[in-house]
Amino acid sequence: MIYLKIDGKEIHAEPGMTILQAADANGIYIPRLCYHKALSPIGSCRLCVVEVKPGPPRPVPSCTTPVADNMEVTTRSERLDRYRREVLQLLLINHPLDCPICDKGGECELQNMVRELKISEQPYQAVKLVPKYDNLSPLIERYPDRCVNCERCVRVCRDWVGAAALYFDNRGYRTTVTAGGPVMDCEFCGSCIAVCPVGAIVDKTFKYSARAWELEKEPAVCPYCGGGCHLF
Ligand code: FES
């Protein structure tokens, strides 16, 4: 067992756990976008940054940093909030302000963090990208301009479903998730919708019909089908 402190609270964690997993297991929330508990961490969004000691406090991504004995972790500070604000402001450069009609509005991980960090100004400017809205599937709609490139949909489709129907195209600021992968086409399982933290991939049949908080959970009776419900 490994003993450490997170935000002054004494924690014990299994060897091999990451800081973020240890925090989750103890009810301490660390912001995240690319991390999903069903997927291998890739450490790309940097929103889960925390400060660790001993030594001078140094920022590390908590989703890929393993816990260590006597580690002291700080999850919230003025400096960390500043880092997170910068990352979010960069993500928001190209994000549309269509939250009121977005199917994910009110349960969007990006919206929640922007609100929590009180971001109301955009200091950065860049050429506005106009990605193509993808309405070709009978069951799934994609809004590439809402995408935060967390790669959750690409990873779940490739690593859980085995379809690899989604993949990254282009590099840097022009990176987009593209449909129609080299292995096989979409199976309409809904796993990508289940893991998307924003409204970039939505259920066409469900759109505008209800808000998430108006739904009730029912025990599932279907056998394992590769669908999104087993991811939570
Ligand atoms: Fe850790 Fe994205 S959640 S880098």
CA 41–ligand 1 middle distance (angstroms): 7
Which of 11, 44, 76 is the last residue before a domain boundary? 76
Sign of the torsion formed by the C-alpha atoms of 33, 34, 36 and 42: negative
Helix (H) or strand (E) run with residue 166 in it:
strand 166-169
Residue scoring higher pLDDT (223 or 5): 5
CA 63–ligand 1 middle distance (angstroms): 6
**Reported confidence tier of residue 231, pLDDT bands at 50, 70, 90:** low
34 and 55, same domain (yes or no): yes
CA 44–ligand 1 middle distance (angstroms): 6
Distance CA 56, CA 149 (A): 32
Which of 58, 76, 94 is the last residue before a domain boundary? 76
| Number of domains making up the chain | 2
**pLDDT tens by residue, 175-204:** 888 887 555 578 888 899 999 999 999 998
Cross-strand bridge partners of residue 74:
51
98 and 182, same domain (yes or no): yes
Pocket of ligand 1 (CB under 6 A): 32-35, 43-48, 61, 63
Per-residue confidence (pLDDT) for residue 77, from 0 to 100: 95
Distance CA 8, CA 73 (A): 8
64 and 101, same domain (yes or no): no
Is the pLDDT at 71 greater than 90? The verdict is yes
110 and 193, same domain (yes or no): yes
Domain containing 44: what range?
A: 2-76
Per-residue confidence (pLDDT) for residue 221, from 0 to 100: 60
Is the pLDDT at 14 greater than 90? The verdict is yes
CA 223–ligand 1 middle distance (angstroms): 32
Could you identify the atom of ligand 1 that is nearest to the CA of residue 48? 1
Is the pLDDT at 212 greater than 70? The verdict is yes
Instruction: Pick from 21, 46, 80 the residue to mutate for probing ligand 1's pocket: most ligand atoms within 8 Å of its CB.
Output: 46
ipTM of this model?
Answer: 0.98
Which of 48, 76, 104 is the last residue before a domain boundary? 76
CA 30–ligand 1 middle distance (angstroms): 10
139 and 191, same domain (yes or no): yes
